[in-house]
Chains A and B, each alone.
Chain A
């Protein structure tokens, strides 16, 4: 057992976990942040994507101990109160989700994509960048639309800040 100290969605937490505990288990089972999902166990599907120190990470493939001292953001931590993150709003407005299971990972990956590309995105780039996230419901059509829409919204909101 080890004590892992980290910041999750802006709050400092210290959790005693078995050394083999994965970051996704720490989030889901110890902190009850069940928005982060497990879809494949082999780092293929991306349902478990969270941000660790600002970068998109598959939390099923990182030990909780490796996140010691890190700042982790999950799907539960991106809205500002009742104000949705532009990516969340774009997924809703473009019908970019159906069953919702892949959605948290999709949104966390998509935010990272927009950050890395500075809002300069086209369909081909979005499709290529999303290859680490699998959705079985949407055929990706509306997810791609949502990411492109959000890229525009995030550019506007960044300019406003």
Chain B
């Protein structure tokens, strides 16, 4: 490893613009003649739109247009799609209700747009929106999954009787039932995985600019995957063919999944820009984010785990109700199925697993992937079950896990996934050592003497990342392939531009991707630029989510680098009058191995472009591209242990220590990896202690601002104690597994296991607020 190569803690190249206020986010962009959009949103969870009177608004100063849902339907802008087809156990396809970009007839959640005001300024648009009169006829609404599937419940979509989207199953039910019937012990658990709001700090925004002469649109948007946005806008929403639509995702202020999806606001901005003949800008406010960014989690689950007399797991049966909200968001259908139930084996040998997942419509904001997407729900369930089992079987929770760990790889689980590599004992050892697990009993006794309840909680997570082998996901219903592309452009002076279909919105690609180039060529990272986030520059890409950018995106760059290096070696060999096979690359030079003959990389590049002396038949230039499709998921795994104290007088939780031992395979930049873990842990702890997107029984959101929704703040969290164990991923040449979601997947179970250990009661739902913990402690 060089000072800037793989494994080096290189400070980030992109930081200078962010720390000096020179970042360029969508809302920072102004276009000539730009107008501003403000959406008129339903205050009702379920209602008929009986009429919209915009006559007064149209007379107000600065108002350019008021456009309604009926107009966007009349103009044949397509309904929003869901890109992953799930089949129910009876063989029927999932049942989807139509989702127009603005509702012409029926609104189904608070915040759904019915019209948009376009005006000369944001304030004037807001003023005019106040003057638009929408006549609603309220309908009964339902927000809770169990209420929604009862007979007589309000019905959301005629296409989905009983509000049921699908009833999907995986695994062998007979085998799981038999294991439970024969078990020495059965551990049962009911778990609610609380609904969360993603809350990237940058609210979503869009600027659409239609050029009538070229019939061409440009869209600046807060996207994690601008090419996917262009594809969907073109192929399904009839906005424009792909070559007439440029999508730019510049600096994006966090995503966490919520900026994967193509939302109504972008569609409306594009359509409206053509309608009014001027650029249209929309920037959401925080309450709009709470109302319209796809939420995460929201599962209600009953599970039973069977153990034999030796405490070995023999079977697992799970039934989950997943709340999808009012419409099926872009990848929503895959989250509680193929991203959840396929991880229900956890780190354990479980011979028989069966899971049934019922997807349910409710009058709430749509639910889709949020950091971890299905895998946190699986991990939380399994790790709560293991802790509950240890308490029920009266064995040490770490020892029970070890007894059941998978130790041979590859390992085929009963739920599709084939784990390729791992060492679960190594990460658990590292975490137990870091927290002094053996000394916990003494610390607990001392805390008790001080009037505090001290608890320790273990969570051993596994996730499937590096999403994903295209053929595999295609066979499971995905509408897209999940490869990644890259292009390496060497300029005549030897500087390098790497174009990638991955998108950085905090992950530090502009640094880590350069580190691969530095590692291979020995050139400083200052000679390398990473180009991303613009469909006019990068040919195609699938974007960033599912901890895929290093395992998939960086591997694509590696493949393109190898092609470029191969050509460069031919040029160098020709110039040095040596055999191509004897050329080695060291410290920015192409050398003839074992001699002092060398040519500097910039001279190779220049030779490629002057083309005065190239090998016979070689094309000029030095530019190569590659598409990389992974052969398997990757399987990051690790052990988290949380030690905390509960004040029995207030129910308040205080962290004593939080240790994380992760196996991410090879690390490109450990500093950035640690940062990813810190952030993930904060989101997992936030779910466990603080966060909950709440609706009342009528579908009114109770938590629609930072005044009501409890975001983790600096004094809610501890400093974290991180370490890494390493088994290289055999599925990609760099051995990378991915690190972006681990913290959010593993942390919440560790926290709840620790609190329930501290208070000596096992039933405690998230978020474990002081009020809820106090009531649990003092419940009869």
Contacts and interface: CB of A to CB of B under 8 A. Distances in A.
Interface stretch (B21-29, B580-588, B606-614, B758-766): B21-29
A103 B201 CA distance: 10
Interface string B9-53: 001101111111111110110100000000000000000000000
Contacts, number: 181
A20 B123 contact: yes
Interface stretch (A41-49, A51-59, A61-69, A153-161): A41-49
B interface residue count range (under 10 / 10 to 19 / 20 to 34 / 35 or more)? 35 or more
A134 B253 contact: no
Interface string B194-234: 00000111110000000000000000000000000000000
Interface string A34-46: 1111111110110
B678 A138 contact: yes
Contact of A74 (B14, B21, B200, B719): B21
A18 B126 CA distance: 15
A131 B678 contact: no
A95 interface: yes
Nearest to A21: B123
Contact of A98 (B675, B683, B705): B675
Interface of B: 11-12, 14-25, 27-28, 30, 123, 199-203, 251-254, 256, 285-287, 505-508, 671-672, 674-675, 678-683, 705-707, 711-715, 717, 719-720, 743
B641 to A, nearest CB: 17
A98 B507 contact: yes
B25 A37 contact: yes
B675 A100 contact: no
A100 B20 contact: no
A144 interface: yes
A98 B21 contact: no
Contacts of A137: 201, 254, 506, 675, 679
Contacts of B674: 95, 142
Interface in A76-116: 76, 79, 84, 88, 91-93, 95, 97-104, 107
Contacts of B286: 39-42, 45
Given A136-B199, A140-B714, A98 B706 contact: no
B21 A33 contact: yes
A106 to B, nearest CB: 10
Given A79-B20, A141-B720, 13 more contacts: A18-B123, A34-B28, A35-B23, A45-B286, A45-B706, A92-B15, A93-B11, A100-B19, A101-B201, A104-B21, A139-B680, A140-B712, A141-B675
B256 A136 contact: yes
A95 B715 contact: no
Given A33-B21, A39-B202, A101 B672 contact: no
A81 to B, nearest CB: 11
Nearest to B22: A35
Contacts of B287: 41
B682 A100 contact: no
Top 9 nearest A-B pairs by Cβ distance? A35-B21, A101-B253, A100-B18, A139-B682, A99-B506, A98-B506, A44-B706, A75-B21, A139-B678
Contacts of B707: 42, 44
A97 B664 CA distance: 21
A110 to B, nearest CB: 11
B11 A95 contact: yes
Contacts of B14: 100
A103 B25 contact: no
B225 to A, nearest CB: 16
Nearest to B199: A136
A144 B15 contact: no
A51 to B, nearest CB: 13
A139 B481 CA distance: 33
A37 B254 CA distance: 14
Contacts of B675: 95, 98, 137-138, 141-142
Given A41-B287, A138-B679, A127 B23 contact: no
Contact of A42 (B12, B705, B713, B720): B705
Nearest to B9: A95
A130 B713 contact: yes
Contacts of B19: 75, 84, 88, 91-92, 97, 100, 103-104, 107
Nearest to B23: A100
Q: Give the one of B11, B679, B681, B717 with max A CB within 10 A.
A: B679
Nearest to A143: B714
B715 A98 contact: no
A103 B714 contact: no
Contacts of A130: 713-715
Given A91-B19, A130-B713, A140 B672 contact: no
Given A74-B21, A143-B714, A99 B706 contact: no
Contacts of B256: 136
Contacts of A144: 714, 719
B450 to A, nearest CB: 18
B202 A99 contact: yes
A97 to B, nearest CB: 6
Contact of A40 (B251, B506, B706): B706
B249 to A, nearest CB: 12
A95 B714 contact: no
Nearest to A141: B678
A27 B683 CA distance: 32
A32 B679 CA distance: 31
22 contacts: A34-B21, A35-B21, A35-B22, A41-B286, A41-B287, A44-B705, A45-B706, A75-B20, A76-B22, A93-B11, A95-B674, A95-B675, A101-B202, A126-B714, A127-B714, A130-B714, A133-B713, A136-B199, A136-B683, A138-B679, A139-B681, A143-B714
A151 interface: no
A34 B17 CA distance: 12
Given A47-B201, A131-B715, A92 B11 contact: yes
Contacts of A91: 15, 19
Contacts of A99: 200-202, 251-254, 505-506
Contacts of B712: 139-140
